């Protein structure tokens, strides 16, 4: 019953074939992760026939890597998954800066699969584009020099 509820879907984009030459499908929890990634990676308006589909995290690409941005990203992720992925219950969304990359926020989504109550998590990296002067300083710190 729970397996029927989750179902099967496309493997990923771009589409792939399996060893028999058929379209590769994923099933169960892997299909849920792919569907959640698809929601998060799609900006609203990107799909002509379903313009509301997606997540508004892309509005924050040029935002600073701070607590305010983290809170807004968590809000947008939670709302989009509640709307577009009915097979999961979102338990918690934590957003934190990547300790190894100053331009990346890590979005940790804790959720349970409905009908099985199986707790799971998905970490989705979100890349910020720093202002030009910050990008030059970042480049200088990684190369050791700043060219003008």
| 75-132: pLDDT as tens digits | 999 999 999 999 999 999 999 999 999 899 999 999 999 888 889 999 999 999 887 7
pLDDT of 139 strictly over 90: no
| Rounded Cα distance, 6 and 32, in Å | 7
Higher pLDDT, 35 or 15: 35
Tell me how far apart the terminal alpha carbons of the chain are, to the nearest angstrom: 63
Query: Is the model's pLDDT at 144 over the cut of 50?
Result: no
DSSP H helices in the chain: 2-6, 28-41, 67-84, 132-143
At 79 the pLDDT is 97
29-143 belongs to CATH 3.40.50.1820: no
Q: Contact 104/126 with Cβ under 8 angstroms?
A: yes
Task: List the chain domain ranges.
Answer: 29-143
How many Å apart are CA 110 and CA 81, to the nearest integer? 11
CB atoms within 10 A of CB 93: 21
Higher-pLDDT residue of 109 and 6 is: 109
Query: Pick from 110, 115, 113: which is nearest to 95 by CA?
Result: 110
24-31 contacts: CB < 8 A, separation 24 or more? 27/3, 28/3, 29/113, 29/118, 29/120, 31/6, 31/7
User: Long-range contacts of range 86-91, CB-CB < 8 Å, 24 or more positions apart?
Assistant: 86/114, 87/5, 87/6, 87/32, 87/35, 87/113, 87/114, 88/32, 88/36, 88/112, 88/113, 88/114, 89/114, 91/119
pTM over 0.85: no
């Amino acid at each position: 019953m729970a397996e029927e509820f989750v179902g099967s879907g496309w493997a990923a984009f771009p589409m792939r074939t399996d060893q028999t030459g058929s379209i590769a499908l994923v099933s169960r929890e892997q299909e849920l992760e792919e569907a959640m990634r698809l929601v998060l990676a799609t900006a609203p308006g990107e799909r002509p026939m379903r313009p509301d589909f997606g997540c508004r995290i892309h509005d924050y690409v040029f935002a600073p890597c701070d607590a305010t941005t983290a809170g807004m990203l968590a809000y947008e992720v939670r709302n989009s998954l509640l709307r577009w992925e009915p097979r999961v219950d979102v338990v918690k969304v934590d957003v934190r800066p990547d300790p190894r990359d100053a331009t990346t926020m890590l979005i940790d989504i804790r959720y349970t699969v409905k009908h099985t109550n199986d707790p799971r998590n998905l970490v989705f990296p979100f890349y910020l584009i720093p202002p030009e002067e910050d990008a030059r300083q970042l480049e200088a710190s990684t190369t050791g020099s700043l060219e003008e």
